[in-house]
Amino acid sequence: MLKQSVLQIEHLRVSFRIHEEYYAAVDDVSLTVHENEVLAIVGESGCGKSALALSIIGLHPPERTKLEGAVMFKGNNLLTQSVQALNQIRGKDIGMIFQDPLTALNPLMTVGKQIEESMDYHTTLSASEKRKRTLELLERVGIPNPAQTYDRYPHELSGGMRQRVVIAIAIACNPAVIIADEPTTALDVTIQAQIIRLLKDLQQQMNTGIILITHDLGVVAEMADRVAVMYAGEIVELADVYTLFTRPLHPYTRSLLQSVPSTQTSRETLHVIQGIVPPLTKLPRTGCRFRARISWMDESTHESHPILREVEPNHWVRCTCYQHFYFPDGGERA
């Protein structure tokens, strides 16, 4: 399976200014997205996954953000492009799906106009052609009455329908890459499954590379081809989805998987990861960033400068602590 790579993230560091100081929310992340592939980025809230997603097409406020490294797309480094040049790529070559469909749409604009808007700037279609294409898109994302929905305002649609509209906006110009930032988080469970199905279908039809940002391991299992696990701004484990679920190595990955309730888990034994992701200003910058949350582990099991190592073909893990890791309560589900 030799897939063409479409987007390369190289040593990306995203820092935000807080009280005159810059703090890296994404620290030295390198990833490659291939065509017709879903690359999932998983982690808890605050681990830097959304910051990573938004920085790819430069959506952070420039006056408070410092971007280092490179995001290579079609031979250009997106991080050094002007806003004008980025606008040629945003919405056309790279589409974005947002988390909350309730707020991601302009309340004063009809759904149809909002989908057409990206065609306004990226195509030379006439008004009637744009309308025709918009109706096709609405149909494609599974909206029952495209012609009626075209003239509807966002508040007249349900959450699931709105998310379909957000997806239609993202795919309006047949992008090579779609960035989906928590596309199912704000939806009901039943709607979630439909949206995942839809995204998966669209990906296969369009041969698109999808970067899927999520904290939901169920979504990962259903959609992803490869998975990057992020913690405190760094990738701690990278593997294909099968390997990650059957042979997780990094303590963080194992803890995440352990925290997923299953039918075999009774309420008492549900695993909880100790502590929280530290706030950006208090992030440990040296050593294994996860060590504070597995405090029962001996300090000597950590590396002083943990790096991401390929421990088996295409399976990368950071730090050496995984070799000795165990859960304090003993058990780990198979």
Partner 1 sequence: MVKFILRRIVMMIPQLFILSVLIFLLAKAMPGDALTGQLANNPKMDAQTLAEMREKLGLNDPLYVQYTRWIKNLLHGDLGMSYVHQQPVTDLLAGRMWNTILLSVCILVLTYAIAVPLGVISGRWQDSWADKLIVGYSYVSFATPLFIFALIMLFLFGFKLGWFPTGGSVDIQLEEGTWEYYISKFNHLLLPSLSGALISTVGIIQYLRSEIIDTKVKDFVRTARAKGVPEAKIYSRHILRNSFLPIAAFLGYEITGLIGGSVFLESIFSYPGIGQLFLQSIMQRDYSVVTALVMISGLATLVGTLLSDIILSAVDPRIRIE
Q: Is there binding between residue 57 and partner 1 (CB under 8 A)? A: yes
How near is the Cβ of 117 to partner 1 at its closest, in Å? 6
- Name the residue type at position 264: Q
Contacts of partner 1 in 106-135 (CB under 8 A) = 106-109, 114, 117-118, 121-122
Distance CA 89, CA 8 (A): 15
How near is the Cβ of 76 to partner 1 at its closest, in Å? 15
Q: Is there binding between residue 80 and partner 1 (CB under 8 A)? A: no
Q: Which CB, 108 or 189, lies closer to partner 1?
A: 108
Q: Which CB, 32 or 87, lies closer to partner 1?
A: 87
At residue 269, the 3 state secondary structure works out as helix
- Whether 172 and 95 have beta carbons less than 8 Å apart is answered as yes
Print the binding letters for residues 205-244 with partner 1: x by CB under 8 A, - otherwise: ----------------------------------------
Q: Is there binding between residue 271 and partner 1 (CB under 8 A)? A: no
Helix axes 189-206, 159-171, angle to 10 degrees: 20
How near is the Cβ of 99 to partner 1 at its closest, in Å? 8
Other CB atoms within 10 A of residue 217 CB: 20
How near is the Cβ of 212 to partner 1 at its closest, in Å? 16
- Name the residue type at position 168: A
* Tokens representing residue 313 in the block: 């073909």
Q: Which CB, 180 or 256, lies closer to partner 1?
A: 180
Please report, for residues 36, 50, 82, 122, 208, the alpha-carbon distance to residue 178 in angstroms, rounded to integers and kept in the order given: 11, 14, 21, 16, 7
- Whether 206 and 42 have beta carbons less than 8 Å apart is answered as no
* Tokens representing residue 126 in the block: 């006439």
Contacts of 164 (CB under 8 A, 6+ apart): 138, 141, 142, 143, 195, 198
Q: Which CB, 119 or 256, lies closer to partner 1?
A: 119
How near is the Cβ of 134 to partner 1 at its closest, in Å? 13
* Tokens representing residue 129 in the block: 């052609």
Select from 52, 166, 212, 235 the one that contacts partner 1 (CB under 8 A): 166
Q: Near partner 1 by CB under 8 A, which window of 98-106, 218-226, 268-276, 326-334?
A: 98-106
Binding residues with partner 1: total (CB under 8 A): 33
Please report, for residues 58, 184, 245, 281, the alpha-carbon distance to residue 199 in angstroms, rounded to integers and kept in the order given: 23, 11, 21, 36
Q: Which residues bind partner 1 (CB under 8 A)?
A: 57, 59, 83-84, 86-92, 95-96, 98, 100, 103-109, 114, 117-118, 121-122, 153, 155, 166, 169-170, 172
